[in-house]
């Protein structure tokens, strides 16, 4: 920004006593003396160039200073441009009295600004009096370009001279004492002018050669090119004149002064805008990072919940165990990073809100559905579904385990029953009794009675098969159709056997009266052999029966039952010997009486060899059953060791986490930050507290290896299908939740200390003041909930020396509780205590800074933004400013007023 682009506004009440004194000393032009020709030439050039530097803003210029101002029109236009005010409407006529009227309007305007015109009349200006015209222009220059220049409360002339001395101080051989003679030459030093230009452009090497005229010409060219200061003098006029005209030199130098002042003002405004934009850019980056992280976390929860809600059971144990393994991977691998992201998201949100509040920005409102509360609710829903999913998995695994056991038992019983019924229908359908003898008929009858006894004994087995099939159906066995078909076939066959048995009995009974003798011993053998054989079948079935247990007590119960069974073997052996004894007696009778036996018992298909073989099988199965039970004992003992191993660690880790949690409640839970730090034995400055808290956090994180070891024990337990543990009240879920809460709580405590550091630094308060504010707040926080009631807040202010009336207290409450919640938070209390002394940027300050860069216009152009601001921040403004709508706005004009308001969340200033 250059001096010619700056509009200067002056107060009408300003009195120019110093200027009057200066004018009294050198008012050569208001007397009848002649102006020095060299000075007149210099004044003509300088004043003409000065006038044109302003008239070009209105699209015009002058060629001859005494001729072009004679009609008063360009003179009035010049005064309007340099003052920024409107003069009375000029007369349009070309007569002399019209010209005098216009010049008088201009002179009246000059007088209205507190300037006393001596011996200058409109007639002299209209007549082209050079001396009077130059004197009038000098008066205008004094009033509008030099009068307000003051450095350290000096007069305009002294202030301008002092400014020149300060700007040229770094340059050797330049000692400015006045505006017509320097210390080194008997003329205005070329080094002085070069030094002024160099001081502005920070380039002292531009013109310090041993060539006065060349130096001055170079300096004038540089000033015109870079400072937009027109060339007002020739180098020869200065160098070859013993005493250059002081008015011309002061006019020229004042242009440098205004160029400096405008540039410094623009630089200050640009720096303020850059600072505000940097804060806004950083906050927007944090907002974008929060939105991105929140979206990713919510998307992960959205994808995970349907997976956990999928309760479609697999049909095999292996597939369900794979589901359980996938769930373990989710708990160990996929979820922990998301827990950290959720915690970091809350910390980032709190930090961002603190920064926005400290920079007077509106609070950050995330996109719909991405609030911290929304994420917390989504997380809560995830954990609820997660818990239900794990319970469902374990239930399904137990169900499939039970199903596999029942299915195998069903197949075993069906196979044994089908083996027993094989050929029975054919035997019952035979009509061998039609050609049999009496003894054979009776034998057939007894044999049939033995079969009926055997059939009745097998009724329980059929009922067991049906019951197992029913249970498999109730437990939704995947191959229930095959089970039902096989069960139905057995039931149908059983019903048919019953029908055939009854038919055969009826037939035998019809012919039984024809037969009278029966071999009682065969019959007795058959009667005793059949139950004993059935008992041995049951014993073999029990000895081969599959079992499933989950504790030592259950397997011990099976061992006890087995021992009880072994205790019955001697009695069974007696029964066996008795049954075989019957057969031996038959053989003995036959041998005694010479009876030829057929070798076949007519009443049963069982032989002594069959009984002996089955008995040998039973005795062989007994030690095998012993071995199987002992192996299960060893497995259950191993499971018990796993339980105790897990419990030993859990009973240490659980109380450790619980103890840590007892001193780490968040302030909202009833324990404020000071009490937390006291409980943790942490003191010192906020930075020292932060370091101690981070060390404390690292110690907790280092404890993670114990949690991981416990996870390994937990996995071994689940792989061994151990689902309960009587040795501890702590489950892995309790440990996980407690651990996550512990990490989250210490992270929130660290974040609160960070926010206090931000508050302290942004508000410019000391650590002692912050501690004093915290102590006062805690003292009057009666409910210990991090908030004060209005009455407690009033008492707190009174204790700190405030003299409060009702009106003043009501005003303060509108500041600390703008939403009328009825409570005062600690942050609101801190903001109030520091608001009066805090130095913060406001929307009005930012707007004023943009106005300076825009040369007092209501809009700003793209070129001005790119010229005055760093590239990154200029483009930031251009991309966010709206188009300015106004009658005088050029194409591409931007609205910096609404942009400044939007930075602070204000819709209308």
Model confidence pLDDT, tens digit, residues 533-580: 999 889 888 888 887 777 788 778 888 988 888 888 899 899 889 988
Predicted TM-score (pTM) of the model is 0.48
Where a domain ends, among 834, 859, 879? 834
Q: Which of 446-460, 470-484, 836-850 has the lowest mean pLDDT?
A: 836-850
Cβ–Cβ < 8 Å for 477, 425:
no
pLDDT at 273 > cutoff 50: yes
Same domain, 379 and 427: no
pLDDT at 237 > cutoff 90: no
Where a domain ends, among 807, 834, 861? 834
- Predicted confidence at residue 172, as pLDDT, reads 65
898 closest CA partner among 823, 822, 847: 847
Where a domain ends, among 787, 817, 834? 834
213 closest CA partner among 194, 236, 192: 236
Alpha carbons 137 and 71: distance in angstroms, whole number: 15
- Predicted confidence at residue 187, as pLDDT, reads 38
Region 638-649 average pLDDT: 84
Same domain, 448 and 561: yes
Cα diameter, the chain: 191
Same domain, 658 and 757: yes
Same domain, 797 and 886: no
Report CA-CA distances (Å) from 678 to 611, 682, 693: 85, 6, 12
Number of H helices, E strands in the chain: 35, 4
HEC-encoded secondary structure of 542-561: HHCCCCCCCCHHHHHHHHHH
User: What three-state secondary structure class fits 825?
Assistant: strand
- Residue 42 in domain: no
- Predicted confidence at residue 616, as pLDDT, reads 92
Q: Per-residue confidence at 170, pLDDT binned at 50, 70, 90?
A: low
- Predicted confidence at residue 905, as pLDDT, reads 67
pLDDT at 883 > cutoff 50: yes
Bridge partners, 176 (sequence order):
182
Tens of pLDDT, residue by residue over 715-732, are 888 777 777 888 888 888
297 closest CA partner among 390, 377, 386, 385: 377
Half-sphere exposure (Cβ direction) of 68: Cα atoms closer than 13 Å: 18
- Predicted confidence at residue 10, as pLDDT, reads 29
Cβ–Cβ < 8 Å for 40, 130:
yes
Cβ–Cβ < 8 Å for 140, 82:
yes
Alpha carbons 21 and 457: distance in angstroms, whole number: 143
Same domain, 773 and 887: no
Report CA-CA distances (Å) from 620 to 575, 576, 613, 616, 625: 18, 16, 11, 6, 9
- Predicted confidence at residue 208, as pLDDT, reads 53
Q: Scan for tokens 């003409």, then name that residue.
A: 48
Q: Which of 292-296, 627-631, 755-759 has the lowest mean pLDDT?
A: 755-759
Tens of pLDDT, residue by residue over 174-232, are 667 677 654 333 334 455 566 556 555 544 344 456 677 777 777 777 777 777 787 67
Q: Highest-confidence range of 19-28, 346-355, 389-398, 599-608, by mean pLDDT?
A: 346-355
Same domain, 788 and 869: no
Q: Highest-confidence range of 11-20, 280-289, 610-619, 796-805, by mean pLDDT?
A: 610-619
* CATH number for 774: 1.20.58.60
- Residue 280 in domain: yes
- Residue 2 in domain: no
- Residue 847 in domain: yes
- Predicted confidence at residue 672, as pLDDT, reads 57
pLDDT at 420 > cutoff 50: yes
- Predicted confidence at residue 151, as pLDDT, reads 59
- Residue 28 in domain: no
- Predicted confidence at residue 297, as pLDDT, reads 84
* Mean pLDDT, all residues of the chain: 78
Question: What phi, psi does 423 have (nearest 5°)?
Answer: 80, -5
Q: Which of 136-150, 164-178, 364-378, 443-457 has the lowest mean pLDDT?
A: 164-178
User: 747 lies in which domain range?
Assistant: 653-834
Q: Scan for tokens 């009926």, then name that residue.
A: 452
Half-sphere exposure (Cβ direction) of 798: Cα atoms closer than 13 Å: 11
Alpha carbons 666 and 650: distance in angstroms, whole number: 25
Region 731-760 average pLDDT: 83
Alpha carbons 695 and 710: distance in angstroms, whole number: 24
Cβ–Cβ < 8 Å for 713, 653:
no
Q: Which two tokens stand for residue 675?
A: 């009490």
pLDDT at 769 > cutoff 60: yes
- Residue 709 in domain: yes
Q: Which of 158-172, 178-192, 240-254, 679-693 has the lowest mean pLDDT?
A: 178-192
Count of the separate structural domains present in the chain = 4
Same domain, 657 and 585: no
Q: Between helices 896-903 and 871-880, what is the axis angle to 10°?
A: 100
Q: Between helices 37-55 and 73-83, what is the axis angle to 10°?
A: 70
Report CA-CA distances (Å) from 265 to 139, 146, 470: 27, 18, 95
Q: Per-residue confidence at 9, pLDDT binned at 50, 70, 90?
A: very low
pLDDT at 516 > cutoff 70: no
Region 771-795 average pLDDT: 82
Same domain, 580 and 468: yes
Question: What phi, psi does 889 have (nearest 5°)?
Answer: -85, 135
Same domain, 449 and 558: yes
- Predicted confidence at residue 726, as pLDDT, reads 83
- Residue 206 in domain: no
814 closest CA partner among 832, 827, 830: 832
Which helix (H) or strand (E) element contains residue 824?
strand 824-825
Alpha carbons 640 and 151: distance in angstroms, whole number: 94
* CATH number for 863: 1.10.238.10
- Residue 173 in domain: no
Same domain, 539 and 590: yes
Same domain, 814 and 847: no
Same domain, 861 and 816: no
- Predicted confidence at residue 681, as pLDDT, reads 65
């Amino acid at each position: 920004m250059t001096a010619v682009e700056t509009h200067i506004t002056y107060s009408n009440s300003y009195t120019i006593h110093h200027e009057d004194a200066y004018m009294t000393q050198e008012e050569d032009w208001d007397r009848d003396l002649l102006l020095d020709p060299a000075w007149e030439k210099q004044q003509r050039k300088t004043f003409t160039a000065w006038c044109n530097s302003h008239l070009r803003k209105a699209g015009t210029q002058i060629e001859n200073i005494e001729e072009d101002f004679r009609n008063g029109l360009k003179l009035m236009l010049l005064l309007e441009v340099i003052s920024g005010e409107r003069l009375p409407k000029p007369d349009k006529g070309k007569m002399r009295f019209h010209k005098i009227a216009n010049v008088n309007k201009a002179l009246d305007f000059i007088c209205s600004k507190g300037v006393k015109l001596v011996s200058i009349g409109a007639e002299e200006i209209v007549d082209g009096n050079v001396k009077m015209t130059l004197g009038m222009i000098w008066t205008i220059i004094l009033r509008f370009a030099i009068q307000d220049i003051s450095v350290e409360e000096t007069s305009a002339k002294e202030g301008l001279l002092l400014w020149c001395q300060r700007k040229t101080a770094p340059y050797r051989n330049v000692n400015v004492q006045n505006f017509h003679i320097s210390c080194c030459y008997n003329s205005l030093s070329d080094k002085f002018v070069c030094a002024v230009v160099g001081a502005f452009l920070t380039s002292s090497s531009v013109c310090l050669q041993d060539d006065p005229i060349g130096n001055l010409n170079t300096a004038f060219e540089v000033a015109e090119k870079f400072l937009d200061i027109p060339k007002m003098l020739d180098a020869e006029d200065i160098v070859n004149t013993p005493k250059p005209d002081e008015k011309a030199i002061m006019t020229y130098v004042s242009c440098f002064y205004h160029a400096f002042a405008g540039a410094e003002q623009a630089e200050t405004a640009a720096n303020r805008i850059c600072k505000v934009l940097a804060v806004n850019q950083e906050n927007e980056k944090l907002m974008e990072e929060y939105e991105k992280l929140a979206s990713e976390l919510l998307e992960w929860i959205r994808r995970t919940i349907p997976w956990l809600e999928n309760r479609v059971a697999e049909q095999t144990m292996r597939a369900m165990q794979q589901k359980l393994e996938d769930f373990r991977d989710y708990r160990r691998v996929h979820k922990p990073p998301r827990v950290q992201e959720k915690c970091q998201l809350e910390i980032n949100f709190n930090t961002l809100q603190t920064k926005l509040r400290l920079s007077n920005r509106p609070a950050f409102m995330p996109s719909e559905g991405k609030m911290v509360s929304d994420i917390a609710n989504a997380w809560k829903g995830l954990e609820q579904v997660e818990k239900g999913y794990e319970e469902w998995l374990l239930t399904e695994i137990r169900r499939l385990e039970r199903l596999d056991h029942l299915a195998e038992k069903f197949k075993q019983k069906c196979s044994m029953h089908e083996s027993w019924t094989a050929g029975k229908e054919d035997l019952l359908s035979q009509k061998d009794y039609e050609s049999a003898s009496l003894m054979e008929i009776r034998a057939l009858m007894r044999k049939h009675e033995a079969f009926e006894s055997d059939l009745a004994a097998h009724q329980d087995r059929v009922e067991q098969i049906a019951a197992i099939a029913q249970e498999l159906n109730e437990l939704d066995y995947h191959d229930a159709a095959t089970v039902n078909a096989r069960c139905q076939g057995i039931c149908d066959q059983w019903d048919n056997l019953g029908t055939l048995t009854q038919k055969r009995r009826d037939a035998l009974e019809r012919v039984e009266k024809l037969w009278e003798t029966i071999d009682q011993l065969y019959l007795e053998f058959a009667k005793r052999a059949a139950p004993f054989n059935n008992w041995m079948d049951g014993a073999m079935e029990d000895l081969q029966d599959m079992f499933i247990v989950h504790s030592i007590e259950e397997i011990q119960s099976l061992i006890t039952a087995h021992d009880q069974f072994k205790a019955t073997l001697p009695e069974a052996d007696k029964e066996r010997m008795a049954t075989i004894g019957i057969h031996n007696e038959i053989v003995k009778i036959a041998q005694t009486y010479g009876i030829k036996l057929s070798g076949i018992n007519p009443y049963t298909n069982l032989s002594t060899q069959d009984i002996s073989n089955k008995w040998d099988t039973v005795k062989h199965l007994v030690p095998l059953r012993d071995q199987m039970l002992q192996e299960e004992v060893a497995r259950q003992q191993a499971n018990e060791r796993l339980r105790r191993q897990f419990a030993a660690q859990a009973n240490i880790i659980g109380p450790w986490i619980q103890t840590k949690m007892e001193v780490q409640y968040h302030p909202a839970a009833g324990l404020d930050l000071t009490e937390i730090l006291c409980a943790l034995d942490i003191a010192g400055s906020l930075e020292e507290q932060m370091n101690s808290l981070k060390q404390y956090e690292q110690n907790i994180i280092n404890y993670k290896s114990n949690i991981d070891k416990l996870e390994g024990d937990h996995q071994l337990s689940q792989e061994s299908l151990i689902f309960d543990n009587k040795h501890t009240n702590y489950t892995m879920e309790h440990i996980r939740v407690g651990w996550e809460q512990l990490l989250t709580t210490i992270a929130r405590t660290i974040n609160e200390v960070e926010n206090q550091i931000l508050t302290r630094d942004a508000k410019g308060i000391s650590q002692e003041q912050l501690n004093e504010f915290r102590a006062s707040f805690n003292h009057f926080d009666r409910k210990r909930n991090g908030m004060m009631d209005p009455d407690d807040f009033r008492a707190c202010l009174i204790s700190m020396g405030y003299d409060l009336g009702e009106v003043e207290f009501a005003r303060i409450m509108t500041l600390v509780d703008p939403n009328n919640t009825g409570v005062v938070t600690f942050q609101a209390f801190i903001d109030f205590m520091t608001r009066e002394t805090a130095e913060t940027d406001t929307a009005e300050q930012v707007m004023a800074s943009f106005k300076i860069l825009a040369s007092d216009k209501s809009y700003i152009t793209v070129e001005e933004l790119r010229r005055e601001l760093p590239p990154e921040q200029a483009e930031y403004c251009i991309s966010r400013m709206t188009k300015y709508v106004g009658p005088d706005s050029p194409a591409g004009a931007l609205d910096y007023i609404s942009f400044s308001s939007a930075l602070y969340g204000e819709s209308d200033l």
